[in-house]
Amino acid sequence: MSVNYWNKKVETADREELLRQQLEDLKITVARALKTPFYKKRLHQVGLESAAEITSLDDFYRIPFTTKNDLRDAFPYGMLAVPVDEVVRLHASSGTTGIPTVIYHTRPDIEVWAELAARSMAATGMTSKDVFQNMMTYGLFTGGLGLHYGAEKLGSLVIPASSGNTRRQFQLMKDFKTTSVHATPSYMHHLFNKLQSEGISRRELSLKKALVGAEPHTEDVRKKIETLFKIDVYNSYGLSEMNGPGVAFECVYKQGMHVWEDSYLMELIDPDSLEPLEDGAEGELVFTTLKREATPLLRYRTRDLTRVLDKPCECGRVHRRIARIKGRTDDMLIINGVNVFPSQIEEVVMKLPESGTNYQIVVEKAGALDQLTVKIEVNETVFSDDARDLNALRRKIGDYLKASITISPVVELHEHGILPEFEGKAQRVFDRR
Ligand code: DLL
């Protein structure tokens, strides 16, 4: 197997040296965090006044965990560690309510992120010879721009196609002889299904590899995409709070994802007791940024469940690997790669004067893609109106939901008493994928 490094010195560094550097960067990160109103208060509460008090990891572990809710509470600038004029970009993702969680980046932050992305792509064997079609959404979501800068750094020809418009994706793939793509695994499946209906033969494409991520998927899903397209598929993991894609990536051995430990301090905890877990045990990933200037995050709880694989990888990288993400500990749904909290839907539904008290959220597979259906019980009066009014109401609710969660659901309107009622905790979310 041929192993390709982007930054051999860092990727194959002496592990002791890596750990020593982590501690140095941790102190710098804590010093940066102390400049933010949020962490200043948080750290003072546990008696930490200065970064100089961090002399070991044990000192650091006195600091409480940071959660998505903390980010939301600190909106918009409570976790910003630099003057706004040093910030060159922000990305945002869904919060549990309408308030997004925002991560700011300075120019050096973007540079570090691009380096991690370049490293990640090089680990899969990508080079400057690749034509890279990026089918992840460009925008506030990190999937598009995240790998874009890394691929440019690598010297690949980047096609910033963004997501959707399958016919155009095929055209671009044929016109420019795309060799590698970046998409959600469900979109890769969808793409394959559309090949036939568009009358395109696999042989017309020059595709060799796909980087897939942004949503949970199994080893079988990977194998299926590999078999269908006859390509190599690599798992890509990240979250916007830790920049986005480029946190952990598979190398050519495809035995788990290397976490770039020079940029992220990784912990694995029991999500109930919050105690640290041994390598090999399944638990929740917790990350601390080690290099980020604008938005340092300390001990951020990802809610993602996985295992740390402690055995060295044959590729020679010293950065530890994590197993495929098994699921999440919270109720966040990932629908075609987009994060959606049921509470966001509830907020929209319950604000409607027409809605009753009961609703249901159903997610299922429609072909290869995910489909979201929101079933809502509405007041009797709605049904006595003209059918055209009902359709208009359905559209209006669809538009409101799209504005909040960015995806278009199917909206079903029901009379009172149709949806099941619950005596105890209501079950409103049915994930049938
Ligand atoms: O999904 C960043 C990303 C973009 C990663 C493109 C990979 C490729 P968020 O929108 O903040 O960021 O969602 C982060 O998505 O906490 C996981 O639950 C889930 N997730 C991301 N990658 C994977 C993966 C981007 N490879 C949340 N496997 C994370 C399973 C994943 N889940």
Bridge-partner residues for 292, per DSSP? none
Q: Is cis: bond before 420, omega within 30 of 0?
A: no
Residue 202: DSSP 8-state: G
Q: For 217-233, what is the mean pLDDT?
A: 92
Portion of the chain with pLDDT greater than 70, in percent: 98
Q: In this predicted structure, what is the pLDDT of residue 96?
A: 58
Tell me the C-alpha distance between 323 and 250, whole Å: 10
Question: How confident is the model at residue 292, as a pLDDT?
Answer: 98
User: Is residue 229 over pLDDT 90?
Assistant: yes
Query: Is the preceding peptide bond at 76 cis, omega within 30 degrees of 0?
Result: yes
pLDDT tens, residue by residue, 44-84: 999 999 999 999 999 999 999 999 999 999 999 999 999 99
Asked if pLDDT for residue 94 goes beyond 80, the answer is no
State in Å: Cα 299 to ligand 1 middle: 18
pLDDT tens per residue across span 121-157: 999 999 999 999 999 999 999 999 999 999 999 999 9
pLDDT (0 to 100) of residue 387: 79
Query: What spacing in Å lies between the alpha carbon of 204 and ligand 1's midpoint?
Result: 31
User: pLDDT tens digits for 387-421?
Assistant: 788 899 999 999 999 999 999 999 999 998 899 88
pLDDT given for residue 423 in this prediction: 66
Residues 6+ apart with CB under 8 A from 162: 134, 135, 136, 137, 138, 139, 144
User: Three-state SS for 106?
Assistant: strand
Which of 71-80, 95-104, 308-317, 330-339 has the weakest average pLDDT?
95-104
Query: What average pLDDT does the structure give for the chain?
Result: 94
pLDDT score for 202: 93
Nearest one of 184, 201, 205, 107 to 149, comparing CA atoms: 107
Contact criterion met (CB below 8 Å) for 407 and 335: yes
CA of 422 to the centre of ligand 1 (A): 33
pLDDT on residue 242: 98
Would the CB of 144 count as within 6 Å of ligand 1? no
User: Which tokens is 65 given?
Assistant: 């965990």
Whether the per-residue pLDDT at 384 is higher than 80: the answer is: no
Q: pLDDT band for position 429 (50/70/90)?
A: very high
pTM of the predicted model as reported, rounded to 2 decimal places: 0.90
For the CA of 338, the nearest atom of ligand 1: 10
The pLDDT, as a whole number, for residue 113 is: 98
304 CB within 6 A, ligand 1: yes
Residues near 126 by beta carbon (within 8 Å), at least 6 away in sequence: 4, 132, 151, 154, 156, 180, 209
Counting ligand 1 atoms within 8 A of each CB, the residue from 140, 264, 325 with the most, and so the one to mutate, is: 325
